[in-house]
Amino acid sequence: MDLDPGLAALRPLGGFFVLRASGPPPHRPLATLAHAYRENPVDGPSHGPAFDDPLAFRVRKVAAALGAPETRIAASVAHQGLAARLWSVTLGCAVLYGRVPLLEPGLLHWDPDATAPDDLWLAGTRPAAAPTRPGDAATVAEAVLDGHLAPLTAALRARYRLAAGLLWGNAASALAGAGRELDRWARRHGRTDAAARARSLTAGLLGHPLLAGTGTLTGAGTAFRRRSCCLYYRVPGGGVCGDCCFSRPPRSSPDAPSE
């Protein structure tokens, strides 16, 4: 199935799967994700904090929204939100189209001031006419893990002292969540082929060296239990997530869940 100009097949899946394919609005310049993944902002003419340093801007926005007592909690939550969007878009294309568009960091614009889910814009080309790649696990891993989450992880570790295990656990959790939503949607609509493909791709991707050991798929292959914690429980009234390694908020050393 060829990619249509607006990636319309993704829209019924919900906001996490939608990709704006018309490029960013001309009246508001948005930085690319390649710009956001820099470990250190580059000096130069200022276009405003959301453009000049979108990663720091997003972390501050999340921190304010959550009332997070530590910046790195907000950094972890922001990371998981962006990871969920990247997995959802790419996995959705792979499952429903059998192909994925070129989603390189320099082609994806990001609005760090938007509400959740993160707003992404594919710039430059219409998907129907743009080069595409096969929707297999190796291609999806290269697009999301190598192209996006590896540089994002490096930037967050350098800037916010987040542990690698926490961040890759976030990435695995976001992947499992995207796969689970795809599977549910496909089964509700009688798309057993798409449901099986979503489960197969998710399981294959969780075996990637960067994600192996981050958690375990259980049940029918869609439930996931991670071996790390995203730190959300430290947000006032936050509690633990459904796939957390903890069954209840821990009382141990504040550094223990980060590993």
Residue 46 has a pLDDT of: 63
Give the model's pLDDT for residue 127.
55
Per the model's pLDDT, the better-predicted residue between 173 and 128 turns out to be 173
Q: Tell whether the model's pLDDT for residue 109 goes beyond 80.
A: yes
Confidence of residue 256 (pLDDT cuts 50, 70, 90): very low
pLDDT number for residue 129: 56
Work out the percent of the chain whose per-residue pLDDT is above 70: 89
pLDDT of residue 258 exceeding 50:
no
Q: Which two tokens stand for residue 182?
A: 């795809």
Peptide bond into 250 cis (omega under 30): no
* Residue 127 near residue 90 (C-beta atoms within 8 A): no
pLDDT for the residue numbered 244? 86
User: What are the φ/ψ torsions at residue 225 (nearest 5 degrees)?
Assistant: -125, 115
- Report the 10 Å Cβ neighbour count for 100: 24
HSE (CB half, 13 Å, CA atoms) of 168?
20
Count the residues in the chain: 259
Asked if pLDDT for residue 96 goes beyond 60, the answer is: yes
First to last CA, the chain: 42
Q: Where are the beta strands (DSSP E) in 83-155?
A: 99-101, 108-111, 119-122, 132-134
> What is the mean pLDDT of the segment spanning 184-202?
96
| pTM to 2 decimal places | 0.91
